[in-house]
């Protein structure tokens, strides 16, 4: 007897819940509203970083970088970057051998600002420098070279993928 009563209750509940057009509209609205709230929540927690905090000042000085880049392109060869064991070897063009060079290498990781590294150029007499690979996390970098030799500014960019 008890089982028959439970079966009748289930049948009544199922019969009362019909998928008419009103329920379908309500269901679509609830799914849509839930999706919108989820997107708003996710967008509020996205980490976004600018390439430079002083973007407008850097933009005004960009013509200097264009000119320095043209001068670097006129050198006998491009900058070479090689990974050998636990070091990253950087070789400047032959014109920089036995020259006093002052500058910076910026290992720029577009995906994560925390991976960026700025390293001062300390070249040997052959225009080369070795950097310990352990200073870097694995990832894709753009190495931005900005240096001065004989009061002439040079600028170059080279891609680098560090694998450990």
| 89-109 residue pLDDT tens | 999 998 888 889 999 999 998
Sequence-ordered list of residues with C-beta below 8 angstroms from that of 20, at least 6 positions apart, any chain: none
Alpha-carbon dihedral sign for residues 118, 121, 122, 124: positive
Residue 60: its pLDDT value, please? Answer: 79
Residue range 50-63: mean pLDDT, rounded: 76
Most confident residue range from 15-19, 55-59, 112-116, 129-133: 129-133
**Is 61 strand, coil or helix?**
coil
The fraction of the chain above a pLDDT of 70, given in percent, is: 87
Q: How many beta carbons lie within 10 A of that of residue 139, not counting itself?
A: 16
pTM: 0.67
Using CB atoms within 10 A of its CB, is residue 154 exposed (0-12), middle (13-18) or buried (19+)?
A: buried
pLDDT exceeds 70 at position 1: no
- The pLDDT confidence band at residue 14, using thresholds 50, 70 and 90, is low
Residue 56: its pLDDT value, please? Answer: 77
């Amino acid at each position: 007897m008890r089982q028959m009563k439970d079966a009748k209750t289930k049948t009544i509940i199922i019969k009362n819940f019909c998928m008419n057009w009103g329920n379908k509209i309500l269901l679509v609205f609830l799914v849509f509203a839930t999706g919108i709230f989820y997107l708003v929540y996710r967008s509020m927690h996205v980490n976004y970083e600018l390439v430079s905090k002083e973007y407008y000042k850097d933009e005004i000085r960009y013509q200097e970088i264009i000119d320095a880049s043209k001068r670097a392109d006129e050198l006998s060869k491009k900058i070479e970057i090689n990974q050998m064991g636990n070091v990253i070897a950087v070789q400047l063009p032959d014109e920089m051998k036995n020259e006093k060079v002052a500058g910076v290498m910026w290992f720029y990781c577009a995906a994560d600002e925390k991976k960026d590294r700025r390293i001062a150029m300390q070249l040997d007499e052959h225009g080369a420098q070795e950097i310990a690979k352990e200073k870097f996390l694995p990832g894709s970098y753009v190495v931005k070279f900005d240096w001065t030799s004989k009061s002439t500014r040079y600028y170059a960019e080279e891609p680098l993928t560090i694998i450990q």
